[in-house]
Amino acid sequence: MQQITLRAAAKLNMTLDITGVRPDGYHLLQMVMQTVSLYDTLTLRREERISLLCDHLPNPDNLAWRAAEAFFAHTGVKGGVRITLDKQIPVQSGMAGGSADAAAVLKGLDILYETHLGLPALRELGLSLGADVPYCLMGGTALVEGIGEQVIPVPQMRTGAFAILKPEWGVSTAAAFAAYDNGIPADRPNPYRVIDCLMKGKLKSVSPYMRNLLEQSADRYPEISELRRRLLKNGALAAQMTGSGSAVFGLFPDLAAAKACAAAAARPDERSFAAEPVPQGVEVLLME
């Protein structure tokens, strides 16, 4: 096999709670995450060196490039890879686009070079690249704890859809956590009630239990509240910022309603998407 093509799904935070801070400064989290049908597509081809073809961040700072470096350093495999990245997940949106790409590279290289690392080893390697990578390797509906290393599968979300609005500006994850540290504690989510509602398809009941504590750090961005207001005005059952932002999503009973909202609620300078829940983070499309 010389080449493999995969697609990496974006994620949304149905909840985001901060439960403490480790001595090394990392925040301890508890989150309900869901992958959705918005994808980056990556083609990996065996080469002697690492290279990356992408319209966005085509340099060694890109997480896809760093994932390839980590894979070869960890396995000792002599070789490289040419990564062609079709980027559709918006950057600095809180949708884990970079982490999803890193997960796809790790999984793809494991298959391409037949190293058979397995999911636990790939997740450990992924954690060294970013807190969302272990989850992105699995995807679906999951409870994620610690600094992202504890990924606990839960009954999958099988109904509903999302409208997503992304303003032209992004939010730095580090800045969002720093702002949270200097803020006032907010109402906390109830992840177990959210999981129960999603599992039973009780989408109209989920809103009181959804919270993203980093939204309070986004108070300096009144646009976040405005995006949420527009989603609710256009029929969303619940609306919330995902991750550290700046994307905001609305929950709908079906894809048709989500598409109608995405078309009606977005302004010309914003990107909008409609997506459904999907059960995996990385999917292999083609092996050649």
| Alpha-carbon distance values, 282 to 129, 155, 188, 194 (Å) | 16, 19, 30, 24
Q: Which amino acid type is present at position 115?
A: T
Q: Is 110 a catalytic residue?
A: no
Residue 207, preceding peptide bond in cis (omega within 30° of 0): no
Catalytic choice (11, 87, 107, 166): 11
Q: Which residues contact 164 (CB under 8 A, 6 or more apart)?
A: 12, 36, 38, 95, 242, 247, 248, 249, 250, 262, 272, 273, 274, 275
Select from 267, 271, 277 the least CA-distant residue to 10. 277
- Known active-site residue 254: no
Query: How many secondary structure helices (H) and strands (E) does the chain include?
Result: 8, 11
Choosing from 17, 40, 132, 166, which is the catalytic residue? 132
- Measured between alpha carbons, how far is residue 239 from residues 58, 64, 152, 156 in Å? 33, 30, 24, 20
Provide the annotated active-site residues: 11, 132
